Amino acid sequence: MIVVMKPKFTKDQMEAAIRVMEAGGVKVMVSQGSETTILGAEGNAAGIDREKLAQLPGVERVMRVSEPYKLANRKYHPDDTVINLPNGAAVGGKRLAVFAGPCSVESRDQIVSVAKRVRDAGACALRGGAFKPRTSPYAFQGMGTDGIRLLCEARAETGLPVVSEILSTEDLDLFEEHVDVIQIGARNMQNFDLLKHMGQVSKPILLKRGLSSTIEEWLMSAEYIMAAGNHRVILCERGIRTFETFTRNTLDLSAVLAVKRQSHLPVVVDPSHACGQAWMVERMALAAAAAGADGLIIEVHNDPEHALCDGQQSLTPDQFDQLMAKLRPVAACVGREV
């Protein structure tokens, strides 16, 4: 349940409304938006005296909220959430946030050279996996802690914040200390223990949509992180499993619109993992920007043919330059910048 306050309410009126809500046994979340102030009930709102609340002088409306997510719900928090990165970039603002880099960190030369190229092309953060969730136990599993160390070196050389996937709570301290945005991969979207731990870290979380997850399940996973204390969640649409096998996954661009309607959290799109083929990435990236995504995650490798992971879907730095050039006019069409 939420309470929408009148445009001009007094502090006393708001406190009176909060008292009635708290008497009903809920915690109250105050969201002071640019146009409206909303009081959101956290917990079971059944015990709240709605009649009494609706009649209070500063109260405009009392509304039931049918969705099970509250903190992630736009009804509770009408304004877009903007998540700041350490280099002054932001996710969710007017400027599109483009994260780029290889699927996996492979060597110092590789990560530093790709980092320089994507920074020069306009990326605002460097992606690179160090702990890889591979389908086969025989496939390259990532460089682990050494990979994180190399990401730090690439950050020191370029100034780009780094984004990397965590697989286990055993690595929490390592990520908290060295990684700027912690990625929860599609395969772990419903690893609820890991999600709860993400509520305890001080870094933004990039939450990928699960392989076969509904939008509501995805938002409920964001809710886990937020309910545990971390409200800085970036959602990432990366394609879902369908009957189609031509593409690696099916990019659900309508999910961008759905999520932005239902939630205030920023949404980015990963066309690389969605399509699985480099030649499709540019067009789908442009389509994502046109659909209103707040940013993109693009796999870029200096030598895709010899990449240890996901080479077939990786752009070369030159192809990434071209993508960024084409992105500018598309972004401008939808009122965004690159």
Interface positions with ligand PEP (CB under 6 A): 103, 129, 133, 185-187, 208, 238, 273
Q: Which is nearer to ligand PEP, 10 or 168 (CB)?
A: 168
Which one of ligand PEP, Mn ion, none is in contact with 117 (Cβ closer than 5 to 8 A by kind)?
Answer: none
At its nearest, how many Å lie between ligand PEP and the CB of residue 320? 16
In angstroms, what is the minimal distance from the CB of 138 to Mn ion?
17
By CB under 5 A, tell whether 278 contacts Mn ion: no
Output the CA–CA distances (angstroms, integers) from residue 277 to 151, 205, 231, 284, in the order listed. 25, 26, 33, 11
User: What is the closest distance, in whole angstroms, from the C-beta atom of residue 91 to ligand PEP in the complex?
Assistant: 16
Residue nearest to Mn ion (CB): 103
Smaller CB distance to ligand PEP: residue 166 or 323? 166
Q: With beta carbons less than 8 A apart as the criterion, state whether 75 and 41 touch.
A: no
How far apart are the C-alpha atoms of 331 and 304, rounded to whole Å?
A: 27
Which of ligand PEP, Mn ion, none has residue 159 at its interface (CB below 5 to 8 Å by kind)?
A: none
Contacts of 174 (CB under 8 A, 6+ apart): 145, 148
Instruction: Look at residue 238 and give the partner it binds from Mn ion, ligand PEP, none, a contact being a CB closer than 5 to 8 Å depending on partner kind.
Output: ligand PEP
Considering only CA atoms, give the Rg of the chain. 21
CA distance 28 to 38: 10
Residue 248 binding partner per list Mn ion, ligand PEP, none, with a CB distance cut-off of 5 to 8 Å that depends on partner kind: none
Token pair recorded at residue 232:
């800085």
Q: How far is the CB of 273 from ligand PEP (least distance, A)?
A: 4
Cβ closest to Mn ion, residue 24 vs residue 101: 101
Q: The sheet that has 59-63: what strands, in order across it?
A: 27-32, 37-42, 2-5, 59-63
Q: Write the CB contacts of 266 (distance below 8 Å, at least 6 apart in sequence).
A: 80, 81, 82, 83, 91, 92, 97, 234, 235, 294, 295
200 alpha carbon, distance to own chain's centre? 17
Least CB distance to ligand PEP at residue 238 (A): 4
Is the four-CA dihedral 304, 306, 308, 309 of positive or negative sign? Answer: positive
Question: Interface with Mn ion by CB under 5 A: which range of 96-104, 183-191, 196-204, 236-244?
Answer: 96-104
Should residue 310 be labelled a site residue for Mn ion when binding is judged by CB under 5 A?
yes
Which CB, 73 or 272, lies closer to ligand PEP? 272
CA distance 214 to 218: 6
CB-based closest residue to ligand PEP = 185
Q: Which is nearer to Mn ion, 248 or 260 (CB)?
A: 248
Does 270 bind Mn ion (CB under 5 A)? Our answer is: no
- 74 vs 134, which CB is nearer to ligand PEP? 134
| For ligand PEP, the closer CB: 53 or 167 | 167
Residue closer to Mn ion, measured from CB, 103 or 123: 103
Using CB under 5 A as the binding rule, the residues of this chain from 102 to 141 that contact Mn ion are 103
> Shortest gap between Cβ of 133 and ligand PEP (angstroms)?
6
Q: CB of 88: closest distance to ligand PEP in angstroms?
A: 24
Q: Give residue 234's Cα distance to chain centre.
A: 2
Of 74, 84, 46, 22, residue with least CA distance to 263: 74
302 half-sphere exposure, CB direction, 13 A CA radius: 14
Q: Judged by CB under 5 A, which stretch of 196-204, 236-244, 309-317, 329-337 contacts Mn ion? A: 309-317
Helix, strand, coil percentages, rounded to 5, for the chain: 40, 20, 40
**Chain residues in the site for Mn ion (CB under 5 A):** 103, 310
